[in-house]
Structure 1
C-alpha cells in the first residue's frame, strides 16, 4: 500500500522521538520514501546522523539554508510528499499549527503543504489535558488534520495517563488510512451531524443544543480509515471535515431526503440531533408580538430518520448506528431505543446538566449492541470518534 509513496516526516522535540527511528524503518520496509525534517528540539533526542542513516536521505533542519532553498524550497518540499506526518507532535508544535505560526522549517512546511497531515501527539499527561492543548486539538481536527493516539500508559516522567505516542505500526496504519488504503477503503458510510432548524417564521426556529462536534469527528475518523464519507449536516457550530462529500441541510425533512439520496451505503451513523417536532405551517413573515394575545403554534412530528433507514426492506445498510442523548436512566433508555428503532448499535451519552457533554469537547458514551452495554471512559470527542470508527471497520471487515 505504501510502495512508492513519499512521506514527509517531521520529528518534534520529545522523548518519544526515539520511536520515530523505528517508524522510519517500518515505513521503508513497506516501500515508502521518507524525507525527514528534524526540529531543533527533536535533535536533542535523536541525532541527524541516525535519522539520515535510517531514512537513506538527507535530513532537513534549517529554514534559512540557502543551498536547500535554491535546490528545493520549502514550498516544493512540502508539496512533493503524498502525506505529511508529525511524530512526535509536541504541545508546542500543535500550538504552532493551530495558530498558523511559521517561524521555523517544520511549521513553515505545515503551513505551506496542500497534502493531508497526520499528527501523532506525545507529551506529559498534564500537558495533554491542559485546556489550551485541547482547544488546539479541536482547531486542528476542525481544520481536517488527522490524528493517531495518544495512548494511555506510563510516562517517562513517572506519571500515568494519556499522552504516550502511538506505536510505529499504529502510525503506519494511520498513514495507510490517510492515503486511502485503510481498513474502510472502498466502503461508503453516511454520517449525519449537527442540529436541525425547524422554522417557525423567517427569523425563528426550533433546534437542539448540538454543536455538531461529535458527528464531525466521527466523519473525520471514518475518512481517515479510508471510507468514502457522505456527511449530511445541519447548521453546526464547528467547521465540516475535509475529504468528505458534504451535504448541508437545515430541516429534518431535508436531512431524510439527503440520506435517502446517499443510499446505498455500507454503514450509516446517525449522530445528528434532529428536532422531534416542527411547526405544521411556518409563517412566511415574522410573527409580531401583540400585547393581548400569544401566538398559537400547531406542532407535528418530524420524520424519524433512524427508524426509517433501519426499517428498510431493500437498501438497508448492513450496519446502522444511532445516538441516544439521555438525561436519566441512560443505558435503560438507550437499550429500549435500539429495540424500538430497529438499528444495530446505539451510542448513548448522558447530556444532563452539569456533564458539559452537549456542546463540550469531551464525551462519555456507552455502546449498546446486541451483546449488551459497553461503557467507554470519558475522553475527547475525537478519541471517541476514532474508537467508534475502528469498531465500525472491524464490523465491516
Structure 2
C-alpha cells in the first residue's frame, strides 16, 4: 500500500531544489504530490523552462498551485501526511492565523482538522527569526498538532536560521523532515 505525501513548498531557495526532497521521500516509499505557493510556482515557470513539467514527470501527478473550480474533480489523491517545506516566515504566520487565500495555505489550514501527520520544515534567516510574529506562529501551530522543525529546545534537530544572504540550500535538511514522518509501507 503506497502512502501519499503532500509536499507543500513556499518560495524560498530550497524550493528551487525541491526535486531532492521529492526523490528522498520517494526513496522512503512515499507517493509525492507537489503543491507550490503562487510565488514558488512563478519561480519554477519563469526561472527554469520546463521545470514544472519535469516535476510532474518525477511525481507522476500535476504540480498544483491554485484552487480548482468547485465543478472540477480533484486531481490528487488524498494525503496520508503533509510536509510544508520549505516553509517561509510568510507561510508560517499566515497558516497560524488561518489564512487560506492560496491553495497551499488552504491545504495547510485544513490539515489541522485532519487525522494525519503534519510537519513544517522552515527556511528562514536569522533576521526573519527575530520577527515577533514567528514565536507566536510556531507556538500556535505546535498547539494545533503541527511538528514545526525549527531549532529550539523542543526541536534540537530542527532547522537553524542562517545569516541573511548566507543560506546553504544544498544543506537544507530534507532528511530531518522525512524522519519526522511515519514510515511509509
Q: TM-score range by the shorter chain?
A: 0.7 to 0.9
What is the TM-score of this pair, normalised by structure 1?
A: 0.38
The alpha carbon displacement at 1:93 in A equals 0.7
User: Any runs of at least 4 consecutive aligned residues in structure 1 with deviations exceeding 4 A, and if so which?
Assistant: 152-155
Match of 1:169 among 164, 172, 175: 175
CA distance in 2, matches of 1:135, 1:5: 32
Give 2:153's aligned residue: none
Greater relative contact order: 1 or 2 (C-alpha under 8 angstroms, separation 6 or more)?
A: 2
The alpha carbon displacement at 1:117 in A equals 1.2
Does the Cα contact within 8 Å between 1:17 and 1:88 map onto a contact in 2?
yes
Match of 1:85 among 79, 83, 94: 83
What is the TM-score of this pair, normalised by structure 2?
A: 0.78
Query: Superposed, which structure 2 residues align to 1:363-378 within 5 Å?
Result: none
Give 1:394's aligned residue: none
Query: Superposed, which structure 2 residues align to 1:20-35 within 5 Å?
Result: 20-35=18-33
1:57 aligns with 2:61: yes
Q: Do the aligned partners of residues 4 and 103 (structure 1) sit closer, same or farther apart at CA in structure 2, a change above 3 Å counting?
A: same
The alpha carbon displacement at 1:108 in A equals 1.0
Does the Cα contact within 8 Å between 2:41 and 2:65 map onto a contact in 1?
no
Q: Deviations over 1:33-80 (max 9, x none)?
A: 0011111111244342232122121111111x33x852118xxx5x81
Q: Do the aligned partners of residues 12 and 165 (structure 1) sit closer, same or farther apart at CA in structure 2, a change above 3 Å counting?
A: farther
Q: Do the aligned partners of residues 134 and 55 (structure 1) sit closer, same or farther apart at CA in structure 2, a change above 3 Å counting?
A: same
The alpha carbon displacement at 1:118 in A equals 0.5
Give 1:41's aligned residue: 39
1:117 aligns with 2:115: no
1:70 aligns with 2:79: no
CA distance in 2, matches of 1:16, 1:103: 23
Q: Do the aligned partners of residues 110 and 144 (structure 1) sit closer, same or farther apart at CA in structure 2, a change above 3 Å counting?
A: same
Give 1:99's aligned residue: 97
Query: Superposed, which structure 2 residues align to 1:152-301 within 5 Å?
Result: 152-153=161-162, 157-158=165-166, 166-175=172-181, 179=182, 181=183
CA distance in 2, matches of 1:112, 1:20: 23
Unaligned runs of 5+ in 1: 182-397
CA distance in 2, matches of 1:86, 1:69: 27
The alpha carbon displacement at 1:159 in A equals 7.3
Does the Cα contact within 8 Å between 2:14 and 2:86 map onto a contact in 1?
yes
Question: Between Structure 1 and Structure 2, which shows a larger proportion of strand residues?
Answer: 1
Unaligned runs of 5+ in 2: 45-50, 150-157
CA distance in 2, matches of 1:38, 1:173: 22
Q: Do the aligned partners of residues 150 and 45 (structure 1) sit closer, same or farther apart at CA in structure 2, a change above 3 Å counting?
A: farther
Does the Cα contact within 8 Å between 2:138 and 2:148 map onto a contact in 1?
no
Aligned CA RMSD, in angstroms, stands at 2.8
Match of 1:12 among 4, 10, 18: 10
CA distance in 2, matches of 1:19, 1:167: 12
Of structures 1 and 2, the larger Rg is shown by 1
